[in-house]
Chains A and B, each alone.
Chain A
Amino acid sequence: MLSTTEGYMTPDGRQIGGVVMEMKNITLKFGGVTAIEDISFDIHEGEIRAIIGPNGAGKSSMLNVISGFYIPQQGEVFFRGAKRAQLKPFEVARQGIARTFQNIALFEGMSVLDNVMTGRLTHMKAGIISQSLWRGPAEREETENREICERVIDFLEIQSIRKTPVSRLPYGLKKRVELARALASEPKLLLLDEPMAGMNVEEKEDMSRFILDVNDEFGTTIALIEHDMGVVMDLSDRVVVMDYGKKIGDGTPNEVRNNQAVIDAYLGVSHD
């Protein structure tokens, strides 16, 4: 099934394009444990797609399948209409997919700017020798990439910590720096693993604003995992709900909210 599905219009008037990524009957097992069982869903171009579910539902595993880090035992992943073969992480990055992590994975000893610059690595062509000589193309290339990073820094309003080592930053800012690094690679598809976990209300509001702005300004397709229901319902265009590795709901926030299976999964059911 290739990108035959048409785009649609969101309630707030954004035009969403066709399918960019499609999961088909994905099953992922770790030994005897089935993390994901026969799940299919798609992500459209330009939409904000949320994956929610209780703890242990298999959300992060799903994200890792999307990013190509886990290879499902059954099922297929289509990216831009083509079936995806097994890829190395840098090949995934080159395809235009970037991600942030649930547990921050930054280079703690490096400055914010250097961390963000690592997001540009796949775009740099100069070899180790010309970079050490620092002449001509290497220098030009760094300037170009720095400019892109500076735009991201400006966009996420982290100018004041540009030169600060990441280890000295509070949690909320580290999350923002991670987003900056992901954005620096100019992704087509951005995967956010619990971007708002552990944040206070104000930080969550800031982050929500940034996610909406990224989607709006750059037209980036975003797939995110989040626990905060309020945030998910406000941000996303469509939601996939998982429970015990199975898909139990898929649709707009409103549809999902009224889905009995989803309500049961979140609130529990009586066993009599």
Chain B
Amino acid sequence: MAQSNKGTNNLVSLPALLRRNANTFGSSAAFREKEFGIWQTWSWAKALDEAENFALGLIELGIQPGDFVAVLGRNRPDLYISMIAIQMTGATPVPQYQDSVAEEMEYVLAHCGAKFVVAGDQEQVDKILEIQSKLPDFEQMIYLDGRGLRKYDHSKLHSFLSVMESGKKSGENVRSILNERERALNYDSICVMLYTSGTTGRPKGVVLSNANIIETAKTTCEFDNLKQTDEILAYLPMAWIGDFIFSVGQAMWSGFCANCPESADTLSTDLREIGPTYYFAPPRVFEMQLTNVMIRMEDSGRFKKWLFDYFMEHARQVGANILDGKSVGLGSRIKYFLGELTVYGPLKNTLGLSKVRVGYTAGEAIGPEIFDFYRSLGINLKQLYGQTEASVYITQQPDGEVRGDTVGVPTPGVEVRIGDNGEVYYRSPGTFVEYYKNPESTADTKDPEGWVATGDAGFFEEDTGHLRIIDRAKDVAKMSDGSMFAPKYVENKLKFYPNILEAVVFGAGKERCVAFVNIDLSAVGNWAERNNIAYSSYQELAGNTKVLEMVKEHIEEVNISISEDKMLAGCQVHRFIVLHKELDADDGELTRTRKVRRKIIGEKFKDLVTALYDGSGSVYTETEVTYEDGRKGKISANLDIVDAQVINQANIAAE
């Protein structure tokens, strides 16, 4: 797997790609952002112009090659442009999660020694000012939105516009410095550094080279035939590798436009207005959309409800086959066409997915019902499997070979093998360079031949060659009787119910499994409204006996389905608690990408786990919670513990 040290046509860095795009299709849209109610457009030529000016301004401020620059804020064209500008100066952008609290950011910024910070608004500026005394390397901060910053000390603070302005006016000597630094960029220079969300322990800085990003963008754009005319909505956290690959890597390689929403609250409107052709969303987003659709259909008139149910039933039967190009018979096709006119088309339009040519979901397992729902509407939704260390792509599903339970075949250029312990290993042009300042972890993860351990357990299906992921390798454990314990497998089955937002299953080393459940406030809240159940808070609704009853039914259904699998029959949930608070990243219970931190939750709610195992009927607990502004408070609750019916293996055998 010799990594070519020369990219195609000397396109060895993102600034080089930007220059090519500005030269070949300079007037077409590179970025759009909705501001003041109107979509504002940055052409590739304008993007290059701004990137150059900003880079010059940064040099005037004293940026040096090899410096790290933290970028924090919501998705905005100026931030994307600043990342490219940072690369032009030979420095490395380190995008941050905008909802990180100051302490989390302190670790990351101190670890990479960020000298400069580009911040979106006052909120982000405040966070940095709060921790700046602990950041010895910090020198200058640049902000986009100056609102509320008038009275701040501006000795270390500059507006984005003023930096661009000073860059524009800079003399020949500064320009030649910039040219020199840009020329020095090659395929092996660092493109970006992204911190992993850290399901365990401290975040690690994943160093990705230009070759990693550009090679990955190249092969995957070919795989899905992404074109210059495609449109994507850039709304996922900029600190996440997926956004960097989709909105920067692939967008710059193919030259398509990344559209930034006006604010997080206007996302669905903006999605509908843009109508992206290439769309990515984690399962959670698809789940939420589907839940909303179902809630609204419950509230609609009887005729509409009937029409929806009638045609959705038909779509479930033939929709996916039509999408895969299989033959379904003329009658079915005509009926599907009528459904498209009356239900599927308008629904897709409402969801903003009318034009989606290629859609992906990844990050977590997606519920088969959810997945099938979108595909049956004729949306080409596929799954991929990847991680930051691989520049996303490890496997993905080719058109026409899409299934809910696999994650597809290896992406072109990626080699995948299964280790002796069932762990998935890969090697690819996208494989990361190293963990920054952490050679031990690098050596642990990446062997000298370049194989990287994913930490996930999985296997290839014999007949199709598709990869299936079971669980995190280290989460797969044994129960006390020696049978296999795969918590994620059970949790996913539970989470597929719209009423259940999150589930955490315990049982490693024990004789029975127990679970924590978070209900989905919007779905259960709507259900409560229809059933005349009054509630004032999440906590109150979660403790309602009827809600507990409903969750119990879901769990028992899951138990039945688990019991059918001989290997995992021991993972049936015997007892459960509906938690009194929603699991939250601010409390450290979830990662910023909203993955469950099993160990931390287990320790934090130790009293509850104990109560689940000692047979008590209810338990009193107090929990510390962190509010968005960092203040802490306490909530206490008396929680009922509910027993769920399990299917006994011996009984089945006897029948």
Contacts and interface: CB of A to CB of B under 8 A. Distances in A.
Interface in A150-196: 150-151, 153-155, 157, 159-160, 162-163
B147 A151 contact: no
A147 interface: yes
A148 to B, nearest CB: 10
B326 interface: no
A159 B151 contact: no
A213 interface: yes
B614 interface: no
Contact of B148 (A154, A163, A213): A213
A159 B148 contact: no
A159 B262 contact: yes
A70 to B, nearest CB: 36
B150 A159 contact: no
Nearest to A205: B629
* A: interface residue count bin: 20 to 34
Given A159-B262, A159-B266, A160-B266, A12 B147 contact: no
Nearest to B267: A160
B36 A154 contact: yes
Contact of B263 (A13, A113, A160, A217): A160
B266 A217 contact: no
Contacts of A162: 37
B37 A150 contact: yes
B462 interface: no
B610 interface: no
Interface in B111-162: 147-148, 150-151
A153 B263 CA distance: 12
Contacts of B147: 155, 213, 217
A217 B146 CA distance: 10
A228 interface: no
Interface in B31-50: 35-38
B265 interface: yes
B176 interface: no
Contacts of B36: 147, 150-151, 153-154
Interface in A40-56: none
B269 interface: yes
Contacts of A113: 37
A12 B265 CA distance: 34
B269 A216 contact: no
Contacts of B148: 209, 213, 216-217
Contact of A154 (B35, B150, B151, B269): B35
Interface residues of B, number: 13
Given A160-B265, A160-B269, A153 B150 contact: no
A162 to B, nearest CB: 6
A48 to B, nearest CB: 14
B629 to A, nearest CB: 9
Interface in B80-112: none
A13 B151 contact: yes
B151 A153 contact: no
A14 B150 CA distance: 11
A236 to B, nearest CB: 17
Contacts of A146: 37
Contacts of B266: 159-160
Nearest to B37: A150
Contacts of A159: 37, 262-263, 265-266
A48 B280 CA distance: 47
Contacts of A154: 35-36
B34 to A, nearest CB: 8
Nearest to B38: A150
Nearest to B36: A150
Contacts of A153: 36-37
Contacts of A155: 147
B37 A12 contact: no
Interface in A129-162: 146-147, 150-151, 153-155, 157, 159-160, 162
Contacts of B150: 216-217
17 contacts: A12-B151, A14-B151, A146-B37, A147-B36, A151-B36, A154-B36, A157-B263, A159-B262, A159-B263, A159-B265, A159-B266, A160-B262, A160-B265, A163-B269, A209-B148, A213-B148, A217-B150
Given A146-B37, A154-B36, A213-B147, 17 more contacts: A12-B151, A150-B36, A150-B37, A151-B36, A153-B36, A153-B37, A154-B35, A155-B147, A159-B262, A159-B266, A160-B266, A209-B148, A216-B148, A216-B151, A217-B147, A217-B148, A217-B150
